[in-house]
């Protein structure tokens, strides 16, 4: 059964949408494929299974209680977990992926492909990948860009790190879930690419929030200001797609129009800024603006914890509230300037 089986571990906001696309498209092509899901929250697996079966009656889908069961069932395993600690647990723990791969006959291990789409620390990912490769199995890091909307639509961008052979094996599987799949280099290169991208994005979103807030103070119409920025040199995704001011993008529907719901969580952006600043300090790369932005996101969560799960463009609301309270924000430090 292993060759015709695919396991997906981590059915959160991204993973559940990705697994649904992968399984439904694969089922349409080969209805004898066996699907296996695994999550630390048993109800997440149960409700995924029930929804999938209700839409694809006759599909073979099962629940693995542990990563070990998922590996024993399938020679293709996709993981989509919160971050480094969960990846270490799922891959390296006693009933995890790596010890199970070691226990398989050499041929079965050699035919196994692991795809980790988690955004995590590059060094930890490389260490995990090295241990997987020692078992004879292949692994690629394949973090994504595109958010829950892209995961649902099957239009994610995958940034892949691994051997050319690993990329060739992974690409057709990733194509069920994404529209753009780029081989960025060896193990860890996909993650490195993702982290550099998100560091730029995190800084840009703060800069757009600052510029748009200043515009409000100057009495400018947010739609006029955004239209000029978006056709001028200040243009960037944070302004033209994810503008944080309600009414700034009348033709679009950014998260700010829904009380900052449904985007990329501020807590995840803070995690990604931390991954960038950590790896930069190890490699001696200066990140003055990323450090300042990371401090600001951290302060957002400390002072307004309700923004942790809301879109990170809600940093605009934080700055706006700080301004209304007469609080100065300097490099992420709050300094009271008005009693």
Helix (H, G, I), strand (E, B) or coil at 80: coil
Q: What is the DSSP string of 5-37?
A: EEEEE--SHHHHHHHHHHHHHHHHH-TT-EEEE
First to last CA, the chain: 69
Catalytic residue list contains 194: yes
Q: Is 24 in the site for ligand NAD (CB under 6 A)?
A: no
Contact stretch for ligand NAD (CB under 6 A) within 13-21, 24-32, 132-140, 161-169: 13-21
Closest CB to ligand NAD among residues 38, 226: 38
Separation CA 316–CA 307 (nearest Å): 11
Q: Which residue has the tokens 């292949």?
A: 138
Residue 91 CA to residue 99 CA, distance in Å, equals 8
Q: Which of 26, 194, 295, 310 is catalytic?
A: 194
Chain residues 114-143 in contact with ligand NAD, contact rule CB under 6 A: 118-119
- Largest alpha-carbon pair distance within the chain? 71
- Minimum CB separation of residue 38 from ligand NAD in Å reads 6
Judged by CB under 6 A, the residue of 62, 82, 99, 234 near ligand NAD is 82
Q: Does 86 bind ligand NAD (CB under 6 A)?
A: yes
Can you say how many angstroms the Cα of residue 108 is from the centroid of all Cα atoms in its chain?
Answer: 30
Among 90, 142, 206, 213, binds ligand NAD (CB under 6 A): 90
Q: Which of 5, 6, 7, 14 binds ligand NAD (CB under 6 A)?
A: 14
**Residues 44-63 close enough to bind ligand NAD by CB under 6 A:** 44
By C-alpha distance, which of 61, 34, 35 is closest to 50? 61
Interface contacts to ligand NAD, rule CB under 6 A? 9-15, 38-41, 44, 80-83, 86, 89-90, 118-119, 144, 147-148, 264, 268
Question: Which residues form the catalytic set?
Answer: 194
């Amino acid at each position: 059964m292993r060759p015709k089986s695919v396991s997906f571990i981590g059915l959160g906001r991204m993973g559940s949408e990705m697994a649904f696309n992968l399984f439904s498209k694969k089922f349409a092509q080969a209805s004898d494929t066996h699907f296996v899901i695994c999550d630390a929250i048993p109800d997440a697996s149960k409700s995924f299974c029930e929804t999938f079966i209700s839409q694809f009656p006759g599909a073979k889908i099962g629940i693995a209680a542990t990563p070990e069961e998922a590996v024993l069932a399938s020679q293709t395993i996709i993981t989509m977990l919160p971050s480094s600690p969960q990846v270490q647990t799922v891959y390296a723990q006693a009933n995890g992926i790596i010890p199970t791969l070691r226990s398989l006959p050499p041929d079965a291990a050699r035919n196994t492909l692991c795809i980790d789409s988690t955004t995590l620390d590059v060094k930890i990912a490389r260490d995990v990948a090295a241990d997987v490769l020692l078992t004879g199995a292949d692994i690629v890091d394949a973090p994504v860009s595109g958010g829950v909307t892209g995961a649902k639509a099957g239009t994610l961008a995958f940034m892949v790190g691994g051997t050319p052979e690993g990329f060739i094996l992974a690409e057709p599987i990733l194509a069920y879930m994404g529209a753009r799949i780029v081989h960025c280099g060896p193990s860890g290169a996909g993650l490195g690419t993702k982290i550099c991208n998100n560091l730029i994005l995190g800084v840009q979103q703060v800069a757009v929030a600052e510029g748009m807030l200043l515009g409000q103070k100057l009495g400018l119409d947010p739609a006029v200001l955004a239209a000029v920025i978006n056709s001028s040199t200040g243009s960037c995704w944070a302004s033209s797609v994810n503008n944080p001011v309600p009414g700034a993008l009348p033709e679009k529907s950014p998260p700010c129009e829904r009380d900052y719901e449904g985007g990329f969580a501020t807590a995840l952006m803070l995690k990604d800024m931390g991954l960038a600043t950590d790896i930069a300090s190890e490699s001696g790369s200066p990140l003055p603006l990323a450090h300042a932005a990371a401090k600001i996101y951290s302060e957002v969560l400390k002072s307004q914890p309700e923004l942790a799960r809301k879109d990170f463009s809600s940093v605009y609301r934080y700055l706006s509230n700080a301004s209304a309270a007469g609080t100065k924000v300097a490099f992420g430090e709050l300094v009271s300037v008005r009693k």
